[in-house]
Chain A
């Protein structure tokens, strides 16, 4: 069983969760951080923008929502999107503001390694620096642009070594904010998942998720920690196989083209 504090920084947002990987049982616990959606009014949330403000004469930045910055007094200093800040400022700002967001979690989950999910390359060194200041082992994963419906990986048992069988389906129940729940199905085909619609099914959903965002985040985390490594060999094998098939096809095409050419010559002789 191993445990990770997953920090998702994609799209200039922040979300944290504890991921516990165990055979037959994966646990995903979204964690709360305190933000101030209105000046002086707090809220504890599982997901927020990387947006901050501070009043004049203050050193500390306060986390808030991007939609709230218009309501702040004019003399307040604002960081609308932290990761868009110029590199020269970002180094200091990132350390200070991540410390604000994460210190309670780092204190509660001592010795648990960090997994950062990112979508921009240039912050990698800053995160390595942050993790070393936090005295934590860390992994940084630059999320791929396209990997199918990656949330399907959250529904696999990490204790199972083999990949799913071709065309198999996994399912779960996801809460849709304020609108009840929906059952989702993912089909495994050609080494990636694709969400599919199913009218009726005998499959009973395997797990419940508090939101689609949590499911997607957990899928990405599981993919980076477990499944991408397990996919390497089968994908390589398939490439080899396809290449072999391709070679065979190329040879066949070559022979057939030669044959066609010869057939053409016969036709022309007949025409004389």
Chain B
């Protein structure tokens, strides 16, 4: 049976699907169309699916453009967006009565179903992308979403491939970039494949800023294809839920102020929480459109050679309508590029992690590096289209080796499809990627590290019960690793709760009974890119037979259940 190689980019704001083919040693990727209803009577072919779901009054979920168009007006409280930011959390989205992974499953299902219609028959080999900085419970949730989507789309879930189903978004983007580089003549290339290159990938999408530093080494004298390269992930930035949605949020706040100024009568209207949410969503949509329009105006410097009438501070006149309690209000006004820059200035050059430069400088600082010591910075992700992003990063980087993948929002899905093909066709291809975080178990009065980030096999740690018990509550956390002799307490603030479950002991065990815990990735080859580890627990006696064994995905499922 022939194979079809697919990549799926499950993004915060958009979901994409692509397929890869090999032709005389070249890998050719095509981002597939996802036909969608436009919310009126028509259909439109887009090569992405807005990651938006809407539960319609008849109990049926609508996804993508249709949900985006009708949800904010019909019943905004039943509209779900940016669900990726909730992955790994044990919460039920009340209005739609779903867990976050169930919503993500809808997007994957739609992408797979539409993709399948456009592809020749064959075994589907697919890879799904996740942020490099996703912790294990976020990854486990993504696995659950994938399983559910396969089930609903009538596609066999590739259980035997589970360890290879994921690839980190920045690494996927790097594969896409390298594939493009290899297509070009050497005179046009940005990288020199006769030596090792060290590059930072700056992936800024709708909801996550994901940073990864990689080494790219030639494994042959003459590099002719991706299989002749070794890619080793050197360092991963922290999980950072920051992206285009944040830029839209601050602009939506400004639009709200303007709306209230223009319509003072609105101050008298008493709104329910659901109505407030509806206004917020409509304003977010309007903000997104304004951002797109301003992006075009900001990039006019690139037009400078072509046009004689470049304005110094161009402005955009926006016209939209906002529905508030069955009445339509006009949202109309002008916004200049410099006004916009002022509105988003904290997100651009602010001093917090939720800004463009700080996370990058943190990553370099953590590795004792500066831009001059690196071969380049690759910008990918939809937010890369906002010229402010490239402009700010170029200023920080201080040299010309800053590259924007074109189109920036296709890099990740392209790389995922390439990876599906590589992992089946080139057994020699190596991609080494450590987990972003170390893992900790919670004890009565402290935390103890049970799996360091660069390890695939944690030590078997021994603890004792502090009281008589017939079950123990196992709680796991993920976070940074203390550097050198720094006390473990210094990283407590970075720890994120991954979930917890009660481990039954089968009988009442006395105080001081020994309990051993180990966390490990089951693949010994270091290629378990899902980064969803197993947790082993032994009580009284430490041997393989009497272990309680939990995969993170099951673990999180139990946590959801609780």
Which A residues are closer than 8 A to B by beta carbons?
1-3, 18, 20, 22, 25, 27, 29, 31-32, 34, 37-38, 40-45, 55, 57-60, 71, 95-96, 98-100, 103-109, 111-112, 130, 133-135, 178, 180-181, 207-208, 210
Contact = CB atoms under 8 A, between A and B. Distances in A.
Given A32-B407, A44-B407, A95-B306, A37 B44 contact: yes
B16 to A, nearest CB: 10
A22 B185 contact: yes
B183 A27 contact: yes
B118 A178 contact: yes
Nearest to A24: B24
Contacts of A107: 302, 404, 406
Contacts of B307: 95-96, 99
By size class, the interface of chain B is 35 or more
Contacts of B44: 37-38, 41, 43
A45 B180 CA distance: 18
Contacts of A32: 406-407, 410
Interface in B161-189: 180, 183-185, 187-188
Contacts of A71: 42
Given A96-B307, A178-B117, A109 B407 contact: no
A100 B296 contact: yes
A43 B47 contact: yes
A133 B306 contact: yes
Given A3-B188, A57-B317, A109-B188, A44 B410 contact: yes
Chain B interface mostly helix, strand, loop or mixed?
A: mixed
A37 B296 CA distance: 17
Interface stretch (B25-33, B206-214, B525-533, B542-550): B25-33
Chain A interface mostly helix, strand, loop or mixed?
A: mixed
B305 A133 contact: yes
Contacts of A105: 406
Contacts of B289: 40
Contact of B185 (A2, A37, A59): A2
A208 B23 contact: yes
Nearest to B334: A57
A44 B411 CA distance: 13
Contacts of A108: 404, 406
A37 B23 contact: no
Contacts of A210: 28, 30
A4 B458 CA distance: 53
Interface string B296-307: 110100110111
Given A58-B316, A135-B305, A3 B184 contact: yes
A41 B183 contact: no
A208 B303 CA distance: 36
A151 B436 CA distance: 49
